[in-house]
């Protein structure tokens, strides 16, 4: 079987991780079969909400994630065009065919009339489906409506009393009562098709074999199935992949944090890590592991292990996965990823001298194990850039009020100034020496020194920080932070 799958986004806003997950599942599924095709079609019939910018963002995000398409917009293929707005003639012809065959009809009801009918039905606790006012119009009625200047929609005559069935790779055999569907609009009055019609025409004419998409569309599928039948198209296999929920088990939304691929890219997540994470949103591997490279995903992925129940978007898991991928990067790569964030936060202006770059690389080495993604560099940047630390908070102030603190600090300053080579290897022994000479515990040395040098109680390797900051600035910092303490009496 030559598998043909598609990803068919509507370019109406930021590209969500849910969309990226659908694209990924299609892409992975296609990779399993030789001669398969992954088609990218743009469903741009919503003239108000669609934009070129959004389309470009989607394409850029797919490329960034490594999800290349071998047919569709930009690359072409035998079944184009691949923008729905360039296919209007095709939809119009097929709508006309359905009208000619009596399977669809012009409907002159206005949006207001439809809304009023709907409300009335809902008031009576009835299903809000079109009651068929225009189902059997006489030529005189049509002439009257035309004379009134009404512009008709095209409505599909849904067959009554039928069981609408299809196979779903995730949900199994699905069946619906056609009486619950009602006659629905397939072409709007402006000659633009509605989603359910355009998607069927395109999937069929583009010879799509498997329609893998989000569960949100499950309720559209019965309408699509009756259209396939009316048009004598053979049904593809469907797969509706589960919803993505936030950690609180409500539908994933902005409240749960970043929802678009671009936001994750901007925060400095790695595409391989995001792909790895997205694959696990709904699919579970049969192996006892969570880290999958793209080739490993292609090897292991199977629609058989895509779950019906909702997937939970766990940001801690994404962070963990991203951190695993970051471990493989060099200090240089991490620093390069951090630089735009440092520029934006105005720590640097973008041009770094060789010496500054070397220092930054060394700083990266010191903090890198604490980072889950590049933007977190900013949480640590003050350790390197902020020469005016302030000690605040009861606990920190209490640490600094210990009797031994002044002598610890003096001993440290003296030892640091006496060093010829100011690197972590030479700084580290100083802390030990102070514990010995002043007969105090390690904590009584590290805590006040860390506070005095960084203003913080905890953090990455202190000797490393002293090394990158350098003696002169460390001494300035100590003077500054001590001056920030409340006067003791
Ligand atoms: N344009 C639709 C969407 O973005 C496509 C749905 C489908 O895959 O059929 O939701």
Give me the active site residues, please: 254
**Nearest C-alpha neighbor of 470 from the set 432, 431, 424:** 424
Cite the beta strand spans of 348-399 per DSSP E: none
Show Cβ contacts of residue 11 under 8 Å, excluding neighbours closer than 6 positions: 42, 43, 44, 50, 51, 52, 54, 55, 57, 58
Reported as a single tens digit per residue, the pLDDT across 431-452 is 999 999 999 999 999 999 999 9
Cite the beta strand spans of 263-335 per DSSP E: 311-312
Show Cβ contacts of residue 94 under 8 Å, excluding neighbours closer than 6 positions: 201, 231
> Predicted confidence band at 487 (pLDDT cuts at 50, 70, 90)?
confident
Pocket of ligand 1 (CB under 6 A): 8-10, 43, 199, 213, 217
Ligand 1 centroid from CA 8, angstroms: 5
Average pLDDT in the 52-81 region? 97
Atom 5, ligand 1: which residue's CA is nearest?
Answer: 8
Q: Is the pTM of this model over 0.75?
A: yes
Ligand 1 centroid from CA 401, angstroms: 64
Neighbours of 251 (CB within 10 A): 13
Tell me how far the alpha carbon of residue 204 is from its chain's centroid: 29
- Cα(372)–Cα(324) distance, rounded to whole angstroms? 8
Show Cβ contacts of residue 446 under 8 Å, excluding neighbours closer than 6 positions: 431, 462
**Under a CB-based contact definition with an 8 Å cutoff, are residues 315 and 17 in contact?**
no
Atom 4, ligand 1: which residue's CA is nearest?
Answer: 9
- Cα(410)–Cα(438) distance, rounded to whole angstroms? 11
Structure tokens at 32: 């399993």
Reported as a single tens digit per residue, the pLDDT across 233-278 is 999 999 999 999 998 888 888 888 889 999 999 999 999 999 999 9
Reported as a single tens digit per residue, the pLDDT across 116-173 is 999 999 999 999 999 999 999 999 999 999 999 999 999 999 999 999 999 999 999 9
Average pLDDT in the 302-330 region? 95
- Cα(412)–Cα(475) distance, rounded to whole angstroms? 10
Ligand 1 centroid from CA 293, angstroms: 27
Reported as a single tens digit per residue, the pLDDT across 282-303 is 999 888 899 999 999 999 999 9
State the closest ligand 1 atom to the C-alpha of 213, by its place in the atom list counted from 1: 8
Neighbours of 479 (CB within 10 A): 12
State the closest ligand 1 atom to the C-alpha of 199, by its place in the atom list counted from 1: 9
């Amino acid at each position: 079987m030559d598998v043909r799958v598609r990803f068919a986004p509507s370019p109406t806003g930021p590209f969500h991780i849910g969309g990226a997950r659908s694209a990924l599942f299609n892409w992975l599924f296609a990779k399993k079969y030789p001669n398969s095709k992954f088609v990218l079609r743009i469903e741009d019939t919503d003239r108000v909400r669609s934009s070129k910018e959004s389309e470009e963002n989607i394409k850029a995000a797919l490329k960034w994630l490594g999800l290349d398409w071998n047919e569709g917009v930009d690359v072409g293929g035998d079944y184009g065009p691949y923008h729905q707005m360039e296919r209007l003639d095709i939809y119009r012809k097929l709508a006309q065919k359905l009208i000619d065959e009596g399977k669809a009809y012009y409907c002159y009801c206005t949006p207001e009339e439809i809304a009023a009918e709907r409300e009335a039905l809902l008031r009576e606790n009835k299903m809000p489906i079109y009651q068929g006012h225009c189902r059997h119009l006489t030529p005189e009625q049509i002439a009257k409506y035309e004379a009134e200047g009404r512009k008709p929609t095209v409505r599909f005559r849904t067959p009554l009393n039928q069981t609408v069935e299809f196979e779903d790779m995730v949900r199994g055999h699905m069946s619906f009562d056609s009486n619950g569907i009602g006659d629905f609009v397939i072409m709007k009055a402006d000659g633009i098709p509605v989603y359910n019609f355009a998607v069927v025409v395109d999937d069929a004419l583009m010879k799509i074999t498997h329609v893998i998409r989000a569960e949100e569309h499950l309720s559209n599928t019965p309408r699509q199935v009756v259209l396939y039948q009316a048009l004598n198209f053979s049904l593809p296999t469907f797969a509706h992949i589960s919803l993505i929920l936030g950690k609180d088990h409500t539908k994933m939304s902005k409240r749960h944090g970043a929802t678009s691929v671009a936001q994750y890219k901007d925060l400095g997540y790695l595409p391989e890590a995001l792909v790895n994470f997205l694959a696990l949103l709904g699919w579970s591997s049969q192996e006892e592991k969570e880290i999958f490279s793209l080739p490993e995903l292609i090897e292991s992925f199977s629609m058989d292990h895509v779950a019906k129940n909702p997937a939970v978007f766990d940001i801690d898991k994404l962070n963990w996965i991203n951190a695993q991928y970051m471990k493989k990067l060099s200090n240089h790569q991490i620093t390069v990823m951090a630089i735009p964030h440092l520029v934006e936060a105005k720590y640097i202006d973008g041009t770094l001298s060789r010496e500054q770059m070397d220092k930054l690389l060394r700083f990266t080495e010191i903090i890198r194990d604490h980072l889950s993604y590049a933007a977190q560099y900013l949480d640590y940047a003050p350790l390197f850039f902020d020469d005016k630390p302030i000690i605040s908070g009861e606990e920190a102030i209490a640490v600094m009020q210990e009797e031994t603190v002044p002598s610890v600090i003096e001993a440290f300053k003296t030892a640091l100034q006496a060093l010829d080579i100011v690197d972590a290897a030479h700084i580290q022994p100083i802390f030990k020496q102070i514990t010995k000479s002043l007969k105090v515990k390690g904590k009584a040395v590290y805590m006040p020194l860390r506070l005095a040098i960084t203003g913080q109680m905890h953090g990455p390797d202190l000797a490393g920080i002293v090394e990158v900051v350098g003696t002169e600035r460390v001494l300035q910092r100590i003077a500054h932070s001590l001056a920030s303490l409340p006067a003791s009496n």
